[in-house]
Structure 1
Amino acid sequence: MAALSTNLKSGILASTAGVFGSAFLWLLSFKAMAYWMGPEGVGLFSQLRQMAQAATVGATFGGTNSVVQGLAERKEEAARRQFRATAARLICLSGAAMVLAIAAAAPQLTQFFLSSQAPGLVATVRWIALAVMLNVAGTYALAVLNGYRSYRYLALAQIAGPAALVLLLAGAGWWRLAPDPRLLAAAFVLCFGVTGLIGALGVSRLPGLEALVRLQGLPKAQSRAFVRFALSNLVAALSTTIALLLIRSWVIEAKGLAFAGLFDAGWTLTFNYTTLFLTACSAIYLPLLTAATRPEAQKACMLKTAYLVLSASILICHAMVLLQAPLITLLYSPQFEASGRVLMVLVIAVIFRGVSWVYGTMILATRNSRVLVISDVALNLSLLAATRYALGSFGSLEALSWAFVVPNFLYLVFVVEYARMKNKLMRRRQIWPFLAAGTAPLFYMAFASAGLPPAYPELAGFLCMSVGLAVSVAALFAYKKVVL
């Protein structure tokens, strides 16, 4: 048990280092873009990245979750090899189809997602097809490393690609190269190519069997079960990615690339890096929750993760609100000062998102395909509706940000109730008091910034941060009391 605990802690550290190292490097890449191309460049960079991510999610059946879950539930190496053979063939075929589709429909995709028909942008989208091909290979390799809990190679692969990206963008800014969208596409090709190369190296170091076993696939019944689960995971993950892609395209069409860049700066500092933090947790949490078959073990796993995520997110979000001006100037540039209005609101949605992810993972762990699809599609349809209404009726950065808060709160209510239904040991009082106390100061500061400022802003900020710190510490104590 002690050895298991040591290995688990080592895995957590390596996984966290990989994801946060990657997050820091992506942050540096946005910093380089902000100084090189300004808000318009950041808007274009973010949209191209989202397009590549959407295509990768589609080609890999929803990202890494399907492969990680399939490997985690198989203990014998022969069974894992059979699963990998089937998964690799399916992902290879879907990846090839996706790349050909992007290359063929580049003019239409450019017009729809970038509101332009410029030849340079069309060529850029065609180059993105190559980046997608490399990203599909890298994503599959990362999923295999995660499934085998090979966290060191996983961390190295996660860091190496963004590091190459930062070097290229920093060099372009240093040499004052003319802003060219094709250079951005080349940067993505380099980033995903390096990640795929390191990931393939890590996979090659995994335990091996004879070639005969390596080439065999799953039996037909197991293959059909995997495809059904993978397709449901694909629909759920793709609905999220496409929703964000559509939202960005609507913002670009209605307000232009500069407005999109300002919004994306606030979104990146909140949602994007929260997602990366949750990805780090997922490398440990999903396999553990999948393996937990007793209600007591499920409850302990969920609560321990929920309290850890809540403690970290409350502390970080409160600090970001208080330090928003120097933070945005440091990580972007003074041109992005308006992004602070986005950050003030999105931190609330981020806390809801973090906790709902913990509870929602129960849907993945129990392989409830129908609920997975319906819940994620409903979430993203409500997000699209709220965003469309905010853009059409208000058109401000604040209104666009509030459009993310309401759908994420409703989804949080749903997944908490779902977890209670599946596990009778779960209670509402175990999480809602922490959430209410942790977000109340953020609601106050968001409304105060939109209306009349408080009479003593420094004192109000200090009191809000004190409340946030107290709730964060309380959640950390609750985390330590739960025993796995």
Structure 2
Amino acid sequence: MARFKNGISPVFHGWKSMRSGACFSFAGVFGSALLWLASFKVVALWLGPAGVGLYSQLRQIVQAATVAATYGGTNAVVQGLSEREDESDRFRFRVMASRLIGGTGAAMAILIFISAPLLTRFFLSSDDSALIASIRWLSLAVLLSVGATYLMAVLNGYRAYGHLAAAQIAGPSGLALALAAVYFLGIDYRPEMLVWLFILCFGLSFGIGAWMVAHRPRTYTAQTNDSLTVRETSAFLKFAFSTLMAALAATVALLLIRSWIIESRGLAFAGLFDAGWTLTFNYTTLFLTACSTIYLPLLTRATEPARQKACMLKTAYLVLGISTLVGYVMVMFKTPLIRLLYSREFDMAGDLLAILVVAVILRGVSWVYGTLIIATRSSRTLLLSDLLLNVGLLALVWCCLRHRPMLEALGWAFVTAHFLYLVFVVEYVRRKNGQMQRRRIWPLVAVATLPLIFRSDEAQWVQLAIGLCVSGIALYSYKTVMT
């Protein structure tokens, strides 16, 4: 058996670091999530389902453009910083990444400004001049969002979790407060106002993030040559392009789905869909983002099969336990939850929420397994798997809107697509690491999801008890994984 310094495994040190950073990471992500949720509540009271539909679509356009300009979000920068130990190497990497991302972000903002009429017609099914003006203003929001995302990736890569949390919370705080002021003061609504609030939000995040990065201690001497070699730059671009296409596939797929819903059923129906989707998928994404700030760097360093297995299983059990517990409670109290966070006008989103909980349980586990593709830089697999997932999802949603345009049918489309993706990533990980057995995860996933698939209003308490038991078993399994 391998001996480690002081008798302690490096994985133990990793998990100790994970626990110490978890508080800041989760505070930042979930503080931001609660503030975004508060903003949706104000928009729901102020403008109703149609307003929520427009607000969500504008936000999705910003997200899609940000993902494109940052080469897939934060993963490429975080992974690049995590694999470099020398501070001067990290600085040279940051210089190269900032130039690429800054240039791409500026180009994306200019493109949005120029093509505003076309984007308005395609994504909002409208030629209204006020909406076209809103899209033009959105170009500035995109530029600030790109800058904020890059700065947060740098803070994440340096494991400055406290500073990262401050940058994550700053923008949504300003957004929620400004929206509340507009609502309570009774200021007349204009579509551009929603975009101005986005500019405020991302501008605050960018400003705080820039200040945090600028005031990081510099522990190396100035370099006359501050650029990476051609080989290093090519390696980054290859990996970044794959993460870009993978992340963009998911973001654009959701943007298209919302556009099809608006075109087929209108903004009000899109608002109902977004209520169910936001309370499940959106906040699951935020939870996984919080986990990723620590899990991705840890898994990147776990090059031995045993360490990979311990890292993945502990994270899988933790994610499954938390998502199952929260999901079952949400299904049990879906109607009061929707009325609390939105309004009575959104009650129809309750059945969609119950179905999407199944999909997010599947997604959480598949994310844990699929992160191995990113950690090992399997660029081709990352690209193909995400493209197939999202093309399949688009095909299922398109069929639903054509033949059965109901919220519940849309929910089952998401469940089907994410089940197939989970099958793929479990088999992929098993092939790459023979120690990752199917029986370690599939029984728990099956017991967690089947009561929700065959749910009955008459047996809600029984289903809740099953969910609590599965969650407890998963969290106990998390404790028993040997590190």
Residues of 2 paired with 1:255 and 1:214: CA distance?
Answer: 59
The match for 2:234 among 224, 243, 255 is 224
The match for 1:337 among 347, 350, 354 is 347
Q: Deviations over 1:15-47 (max 9, x none)?
A: 011101011111101001000100000000000
Residues of 2 paired with 1:364 and 1:307: CA distance?
Answer: 20
Query: Which one is further off, 158-167 or 208-217?
Result: 208-217
Structure 2 length-normalised TM: 0.96
Residue matched to 1:472: 471
Residue matched to 1:281: 291
Deviation of the 1:211 alpha carbon: 7.2
The match for 2:389 among 379, 386, 389 is 379
Distance of aligned partners of 1:4 and 1:253 in 2 relative to their CA distance in 1, 3 Å threshold: closer
Q: Deviations over 1:187-245 (max 9, x none)?
A: 10000000111111111122325674286111111000100110111000001000000
Residues of 1 paired with 2:250 and 2:287: CA distance?
Answer: 17
The match for 1:129 among 139, 150, 156 is 139
Matched, 1:180 2:179: no
Residues of 1 paired with 2:112 and 2:346: CA distance?
Answer: 32
Distance of aligned partners of 1:66 and 1:3 in 2 relative to their CA distance in 1, 3 Å threshold: closer
SS of residue matched to 1:315: helix
Q: Deviations over 1:46-88 (max 9, x none)?
A: 0000000000000000000000000000000011011101101
Q: Would the aligned equivalents of 1:345 and 1:398 in 2 still touch at CA under 8 Å?
A: yes
Residue matched to 1:462: 461
Runs of 4+ in 1 over 6 A off after TM superposition: 1-4
Residues of 2 paired with 1:3 and 1:243: CA distance?
Answer: 39
Code of the aligned partner of 1:165: L
Residues of 1 paired with 2:161 and 2:388: CA distance?
Answer: 34
Q: Would the aligned equivalents of 2:14 and 2:298 in 1 still touch at CA under 8 Å?
A: no
Q: Would the aligned equivalents of 1:160 and 1:195 in 2 still touch at CA under 8 Å?
A: yes
The match for 2:274 among 264, 281, 285 is 264
Residues of 2 paired with 1:112 and 1:213: CA distance?
Answer: 48
Matched, 1:327 2:326: no
Residue matched to 2:213: 203
Q: Would the aligned equivalents of 2:88 and 2:220 in 1 still touch at CA under 8 Å?
A: no
Deviation of the 1:5 alpha carbon: 5.7
SS of residue matched to 2:187: coil
Structure 1 length-normalised TM: 0.96
Query: Which one is further off, 262-271 or 5-14?
Result: 5-14
SS of residue matched to 2:405: coil
The match for 1:23 among 26, 33, 48 is 33
Matched, 1:41 2:51: yes
Distance of aligned partners of 1:82 and 1:474 in 2 relative to their CA distance in 1, 3 Å threshold: same
Q: Deviations over 1:384-432 (max 9, x none)?
A: 0000000100011111111111010000000000110111100000000
Code of the aligned partner of 2:254: L
Matches within 5 A, 1:92-111: 92-111=102-121
Residues of 1 paired with 2:152 and 2:137: CA distance?
Answer: 23
The match for 1:244 among 242, 254, 279 is 254
Matched, 1:391 2:401: yes
Residues of 2 paired with 1:229 and 1:397: CA distance?
Answer: 37
Code of the aligned partner of 2:235: A
Q: Would the aligned equivalents of 2:87 and 2:220 in 1 still touch at CA under 8 Å?
A: no
Matches within 5 A, 1:79-98: 79-98=89-108
Distance of aligned partners of 1:4 and 1:374 in 2 relative to their CA distance in 1, 3 Å threshold: closer
Q: Deviations over 1:61-116 (max 9, x none)?
A: 00000000000000000110111011011001111110110000000000000000
Q: Deviations over 1:268-324 (max 9, x none)?
A: 000000000000000000000000011000000000000000000000110000000
Q: Would the aligned equivalents of 2:29 and 2:165 in 1 still touch at CA under 8 Å?
A: yes
Residues of 2 paired with 1:138 and 1:171: CA distance?
Answer: 24
Residue matched to 1:70: 80
Residues of 1 paired with 2:400 and 2:17: CA distance?
Answer: 48
Matched, 1:417 2:416: no
Residues of 1 paired with 2:38 and 2:46: CA distance?
Answer: 12
Residue matched to 1:298: 308
Residue matched to 1:451: none
Distance of aligned partners of 1:119 and 1:81 in 2 relative to their CA distance in 1, 3 Å threshold: same
Residues of 2 paired with 1:472 and 1:270: CA distance?
Answer: 17
Q: Deviations over 1:431-471 (max 9, x none)?
A: 000000011111112xx4xxxxx6xx2xx011000011001
Code of the aligned partner of 1:424: G
Q: Would the aligned equivalents of 2:144 and 2:203 in 1 still touch at CA under 8 Å?
A: yes
The match for 1:171 among 154, 167, 181 is 181
Residues of 1 paired with 2:407 and 2:312: CA distance?
Answer: 35
Residues of 2 paired with 1:386 and 1:334: CA distance?
Answer: 29
Q: Would the aligned equivalents of 1:85 and 1:215 in 2 still touch at CA under 8 Å?
A: no
Code of the aligned partner of 1:241: T
Code of the aligned partner of 2:476: F
Gaps of 5+ in 1: 449-453
Q: Would the aligned equivalents of 1:85 and 1:214 in 2 still touch at CA under 8 Å?
A: no
Residues of 2 paired with 1:467 and 1:77: CA distance?
Answer: 50
Deviation of the 1:7 alpha carbon: 4.2
The match for 2:363 among 350, 353, 367 is 353
Residues of 2 paired with 1:186 and 1:211: CA distance?
Answer: 41
SS of residue matched to 2:138: helix
Matched, 1:307 2:317: yes
Deviation of the 1:344 alpha carbon: 1.2
Residues of 1 paired with 2:388 and 2:293: CA distance?
Answer: 26
Gaps of 5+ in 2: 1-7
Residues of 2 paired with 1:165 and 1:389: CA distance?
Answer: 37
Residue matched to 2:449: 439
Residue matched to 1:194: 204
Among all aligned residue pairs of Structure 1 and Structure 2, give the percentage whose two residues are the same amino acid: 56
Deviation of the 1:355 alpha carbon: 0.3
Residue matched to 1:143: 153
Distance of aligned partners of 1:279 and 1:214 in 2 relative to their CA distance in 1, 3 Å threshold: farther
SS of residue matched to 1:62: coil
Instruction: Compute the RMSD of aligned alpha carbons.
Output: 1.3
Deviation of the 1:10 alpha carbon: 2.2
SS of residue matched to 2:73: coil
